[in-house]
Amino acid sequence: MDIVFIGFGEAAYHLCAGLRTTGELRIGAFDANVSPQLQQRAEQLHVTLFDSLEHACHGARFVVCLTSASSALGIAQKVLPLLVAGQTYVDMNSAAPTVKQAIDQLPRPTGVDFCDSAVMGTVPGNNHRVPMLLAGSGAAAFAEAFTPRGMRLTALEAEAGAASAIKMLKSVVMKGLPQLLLEAFQAGEKFGVLDKLVASLGDSLNGKTVEQLADTFTARTLIHAKRRSAEMIDAIATLEAAGVDASMTRATQAQLDRLAATDWASLLGPGGSDMDFRTAITRLTAHD
């Protein structure tokens, strides 16, 4: 087999559907719960269903785990001892980087590589072309094998866990930002100023790249944390007066309070407000 999936759920099905369009490819799968629908999908895509992990893993160039974050480590513990030199184990689950690191540290036969794969979009609709980040000793081999088949794979020169770290840290922003918007927009609606609020945010944010925003926010937030913390106390009062849960703003105020305990103006030096975000983050991380 060229590639075998452990877990033949929705994501694996759509990946296989895409890969099947790229030419001759031997694809297999093992799933602990084979339903009539799953069997029909496998037959439709000419995916060989195996009746055991042992049979599925035997001779497969790439063994891809695509089950769930909670089962990732347990499955790796079962699969890795079954592999031999020349095989690569790929974990595509949306698991924390610590889980991917733990998998990488499990005992495995010499010559077996591990690839931490972070799926950076939705598989349905994108199929095999969904962007993925790869890290670990098996990243380059997986990228070399499947990039020519149209997979959008970026192999990082980094240890296992790095790809999943980017996915998780992106979620901090992309899941957190909507919560801030919801908190502010609810109050804006209650005050009857939602459209004006959005326009005002646009004046500050529209047309800016992430790097430009980071340069604007990072050092200045450190230096002006005390003043901004006081402003957030008023913001909390405003939200709560409008009957809106101020959890996100309370967390912001608490974090600003913590930052205000350090004299960042002195630590960053003259011109600190204009310091680029990479330098400011390096200073913040070293200080913490």
Q: Mind listing the pLDDT tens digit for each residue in 29-78?
A: 999 999 999 999 999 999 999 999 999 999 999 999 999 999 999 999 99
- How is residue 256 written in tokens? 């600003």
- pTM for the full model? 0.89
Q: Provide the pLDDT for residue 272.
A: 93
CB contact at 8 A, 66 and 12: yes
Nearest CA-CA partner of 134 in 80, 62, 58, 26? 62
Q: Provide the pLDDT for residue 55.
A: 97
Q: Provide the pLDDT for residue 164.
A: 97
Neighbours of 239 (CB within 10 A): 21
CB contact at 8 A, 258 and 232: no
Q: Could you give the CA distance from residue 32 to residue 50 in angstroms, rounded to a whole number? A: 10
Q: Provide the pLDDT for residue 192.
A: 97
Q: Could you give the CA distance from residue 142 to residue 155 in angstroms, rounded to a whole number? A: 9
**Site of tokens 């020519």:** 148
Question: Average pLDDT over the chain, rounded to whole?
Answer: 96
Q: Could you give the CA distance from residue 143 to residue 90 in angstroms, rounded to a whole number? A: 11
**Sign of the C-alpha dihedral computed for residues 18, 21, 27 and 31 taken in this order:** positive
Residue 121 DSSP class: S
288 pLDDT higher than 90: no
| Cα-only R_g, the chain | 24
Q: Could you give the CA distance from residue 263 to residue 37 in angstroms, rounded to a whole number? A: 62
Q: Could you give the CA distance from residue 27 to residue 19 in angstroms, rounded to a whole number? A: 9
- How is residue 130 written in tokens? 């969904």
Which amino acid type is present at position 253?
Answer: Q
Q: Provide the pLDDT for residue 61.
A: 98
Q: Could you give the CA distance from residue 191 to residue 197 in angstroms, rounded to a whole number? A: 10
| Ramachandran category for residue 260: left, alpha or beta (phi over 0 → left; psi -120 to 50 → alpha) | alpha
Q: Provide the pLDDT for residue 160.
A: 98
Nearest CA-CA partner of 242 in 185, 166, 284, 164? 185
Q: What are the b/e assignments for 33-69, b being 16+ CB within 10 Å?
A: eeeeebeebbeebebebbeebebbbbebebbbbbbee
Nearest CA-CA partner of 142 in 59, 28, 63? 63
Average pLDDT on 80-102 reads 97
Q: Could you give the CA distance from residue 86 to residue 1 in angstroms, rounded to a whole number? A: 13
Taking only the tens place, the pLDDT of each residue in 267-285 is 999 999 999 999 999 999 9
Q: Provide the pLDDT for residue 172.
A: 96
Taking only the tens place, the pLDDT of each residue in 208-236 is 999 999 999 999 999 999 999 999 999 99
Taking only the tens place, the pLDDT of each residue in 14-25 is 999 999 999 999
Q: Provide the pLDDT for residue 287.
A: 92
Domains with residue ranges and CATH for the chain: 3-165 (3.40.50.720), 207-287 (no CATH)
